[in-house]
Structure formats: C-alpha cells, structure tokens
Amino acid sequence: MYSHQEFTFQDHKESVLPAKTWTLGLLCAVWMATGLIGHDPWKSIDAYGFALVYHIVQSGDWLVPTLAGRPDMDNPPLFYMTAAVLAKLFAPLLPLHDGARLASGLYTSITLIFIGLTGRKLFGTGRGWAAVIILIGCLGLLVHVHELFSELALLAGCAMMLYGYAKSLHSPLIAGLAIGCGVGIGFMSNDFTALVLFLGISTTLLIFSPWRTRSYFSSLGIALIVTLPWLLIWPILLYVRSPELFMVWAWDANIGRWLDFMRRGDFPALLHYLKALAWFAWPALPLAAWAVWQARFKIMQETALQLPLVSFVVMLLVLSFSPNYGEEHAMPLLLPLALLACAALSTLRRGAANALNWFGIMTFGLLTILLWWAWAGLLLNNRTRVTTLLKEYHPSFMPSVETPAFWIGIIFTVLWMILVWRVRPSMRRAVVNWAAGVTLIWVLVMTIWLPWLDTGKSYRSLFISLKQSLPAQHRCVASQNIGDTQRVLLQYFSGINTLNQAKNQCDLLLLQGEPLLTSRNGAGWIKLWEGKRPGTRPEYYYLYQRGKRAALKN
C-alpha cells in the first residue's frame, strides 16, 4: 500500500531490459503502422484530407489549400504538404492515398517520441516507455492517427512543446528549440490553437515559484525567436499572392470566427470534452486522476506534476472555447493525461492494477472472440442475427478468405495470448496488456474485417460503376448537391471532372440525394444510371442525360 508521504518523482529509476524495449517498440510500431495503407480514402476526415493532398500533387500549388477548385482556408497546408511529398516519394510503390497517409504515421511517430522523452525527463529512467504505452492505449487516439487528419501535426507540435517545457528549467536552448518548433508546427497545421496554448501554458506555470527562474524565461525567449519564422513566412507569401485569401484565412476562418463564437455566448463544448473523455481517454483518465489525488499535498513543490496538470487545464479551456469542437479535436488532451497517468504507476495499489489488468484481458479477449466468430459467420453464412445485420449493413459485400490477412490475424491473436500470459505481475502490467489488447483489436479490424469496411466506406466501386455508364460522346458533366470531397474522389477514381452548378451548360447531370421529378425541374432529362454508397445513411447518386427537346430549348 502506498500513501501520499511516499509519493515522489525525483530520481526515479526503473530498468527496462533490452528484450522488453524491443517488445514495447514492436507493439508501438504495429499499433501505428497497421491501417495506414491498404484501403481507399474513407468518407469524412480521411477523404477530405486526401482531396486537399490530391490538389497539391496534381497542380503543384503548395501555398493555397484547395478543395475541388475552391480555396479551403480553414488551416495552413503543412500537414497536406508533408502528405503530398510522401505520396509522390512513394508513388512507385504505393497508391497516392496510401503514400499520403504515411504523413499521419510520421507525425504520430514524432508525438510518441516526444511524449516518451517528456515522461523520462519528468519521472525518471524507464518512465518514457510507460507514457508512450499509456498514450497508445487511449481509445480516442486509435482511429484518428490512421487518417489524413491535420490535427495530427498539431498533436506532434503539442508533444514537442511539452518536452520543451520539461527541459526549460535546465536546458534553455534545447527547450526553446523544442517549444518554438512545436508552436510553429502546430500553427502551420491548425492555425492559432498552438500559439494560444503556448501563451496560456507559459503564463499559468508562473503561478508556481519553481518556474519563475532565469532558465525558464530564457527558454521562452528562445522559443519566441524560433517561432517567428513559422508565424511569418507562409502568411506573408499568402498575402503577396492574394490579400483576399489572406483575409479569408486570418479573419473569416479564424480570428473573426472566434470572436463571433465568443460574442454569441453559446458554448456547447464546455461540457462536451469532459463527457467525451470518460471513454476517449480511457485508461489514462482514471490513472491521471489517481496521481493528482495522491500528490494533492505536494503539487506546489512537484514541477513534474505541475506541467501536465497546467497543460491539461489550459488545453481543456482553449479547446472548449473554440468554435471547432468535436471528439476528434480532443487528442491534445491525451498528452498531459498520459503523463499524469505515468506518474500514477508509482502509487497505484496492486489490487487496482490487477483489476485493470484483468478487465483489459477479459474485454479484449471477448472482443477478439466476437470478431473472429462474426467473421466466420459471414464467411459461412450461418444465418444468425449478427450475420444478417452485417449483410444488411453492406449488402454488396462478398465474403472471402484473404490468406495473408487471415494468417496475420491468427499470428497476432496468438502473440497477444502469449504476451498476456507471460508478462510478470507489476505496476506496468495493466497498461501494457491494455495497449496490447487495443492493438490486437485494431489489427483484426484492419485485416480480416478490412474488405467489409472498405465496401461501405470507399467510393471506388460506386464511381467506377458511374464511369462505365457514361455515354461515349458528351460535352461535360454538371454536378448538383455533390460535396467537394466527393467530386475530387470522383476525379481520382474514375477520371471524371464535374462542373458544379452548371446544369444549363452540360448535357450530363450527376445528382446526389432525391431523383429529379419529371413534372418539375426534371423535365427533359433521361436517367442513365443510379447507385448508392451503403452505410447507416446511404448516399444515392443519379446520372441524367439531357433529352433532345431540352437541348433545343436551351
């Protein structure tokens, strides 16, 4: 049993044997790499990100993020520039969308490296791995780190900032470089969020006397100098190219939007993140809460605890008052929570650790059995209720055994069973087993279940079917109610360029939503094709050709 009198972070040493280091490194690599390649751009975040990358690859315009010919000024283009470079670099080996998604792996790697360095710096030798393992075990991080999501660059920038702050009391130069580059990367991928976080964390830490030192202020001064090029180069280039686009980015999409949001006084996000963290940050959240509770009498003296605690509070406030809110934007909150949870490993009671350990083993064991059983049911068509629901959800899916995916799933299932069986009882056992369970489930989803998912989330088969229905001779294809992302994917998969709101100029019309009614604006149009992308909310598409009478009339 541990009491608060025993709670300390200083000079903590916990040896990690080389074999364990390789095992934990392999676990992180599998968790990160699985799902980055091997599937099409999926609807929503992934498809949106690829659409912006595809413009850069096709046009060579690295300055202005553009979506289907329309400038998209929500965020600066650093993440999409990185993705475009990797897409072109790996083009001989990978499809463009898979190569672009490697950028997500790159920024995730940076995040893991710096959160590990921060954990080691704050809590001692051996705790860096603990912070990384806790972070990859967080449920809210799993899906988004495998998407083309610019927030991943912000996440990497925040991890660099935390490392810089951890070094700021002893190594001002390294600290300033880390903080400045972290703020710059965050700014160039998510606008002013990283800059506001920098100002908020830097000033709030001054509440505690250990941070009011010459070394800390020197670190901040160096950070400001390092940050300036990041803050100036792209905005200046954008202004030189188009003052109008600069104002759209600076005011309409950012400063003005924030001020308008604050003026309305409607803050639905204030409790949104607190409620979401209950599952999004599991199991880091309860461990972090335990660490804070145990150290409640030493918070004013423990700089190792002050940094993640202040960072979490500032991040929560900044994100909660942001006009862009959603669970996917909560990822930076996981960084300080993982560090706080890392601190809890020194004080976690053995009974609580064993309870979390067995909860993870039972949870992921049952999920593994369910995934294999449901997959076998689809393959054998056993007509159970689960099989029927899965087939109704994606009726066009044709189950088959893909040998490499099957054996990968088998191998990792066996390895997981060996891992949870052989790991010796320790305070770290629970978090390692949890992270291994999360990784196993993700591997199974991205191997044996990937064809089923791709059927419902990809636009490839739908748009190829559309291409095959186009008449040999046509002038152009107008689009109506088609999203910009879908228009880009249509061009990518089938080579079809559509003109938005050009119904009167083109002889073909592609429509999403409800079909045309011949008694109203559908008169004179002949339906050539219809199709849909399956899912919980099916998307219906219709292709029409202008009839002779309508053509003469126009």
Q: What pLDDT score was predicted for residue 370? A: 96
Token pair of 195 as six digits: 């800059």
Q: Are 39 and 450 in contact (CB under 8 A)?
A: yes
Q: Is the peptide bond before 336 cis (omega within 30 degrees of 0)?
A: no
C-alpha span between 330 and 352 (Å, rounded): 27
* Amino acid of residue 331: M
pLDDT tens, residue by residue, 173-226: 999 999 999 999 999 998 899 999 999 999 999 999 999 999 999 999 999 999
**Residue ranges in the chain whose pLDDT is less than 50:** 1-8, 10-11, 519, 549-554
* Identity at 376, one-letter amino acid code: A
Residue range(s) in the chain whose domain bears CATH number 3.40.190: 460-553
The tally of CA atoms less than 13 A away on the side-chain side of residue 522 is 13
Q: How many Cβ atoms are within 10 Å of 136's Cβ, its own excluded?
A: 28
Q: Which fold has domain 460-553?
A: D-Maltodextrin-Binding Protein; domain 2 (3.40.190)
Query: Which one-letter DSSP state was computed for residue 349?
Result: -
Q: Supply the pLDDT for residue 536.
A: 53
pLDDT at 249: 93
Question: Which residue type sits at 8?
Answer: T
> What CA–CA distance (Å, rounded) separates 190 from 360?
34
CB 488 within 8 A of CB 67: yes
CA distance 15 to 337: 23
DSSP 406: H
Q: What pLDDT sits at residue 354?
A: 84
Q: What pLDDT, on the 0 to 100 scale, is given for residue 14?
A: 58
Instruction: Please say whether the dihedral angle defined by the alpha carbons of residues 144, 146, 149 and 155, taken in this order, is positive or negative.
Output: positive
Spatial contact of 325 and 319, defined as CB atoms under 8 Å apart: yes
Name beta bridge partners: 529.
543
The pLDDT of residue 518:
54
Q: What is the pLDDT of residue 184?
A: 97
Q: For residue range 287-335, list pLDDT tens digits in order.
A: 999 999 888 888 888 899 999 999 999 999 998 888 777 788 899 999 9
CA-to-CA distance for 382 and 374, rounded, in angstroms? 10
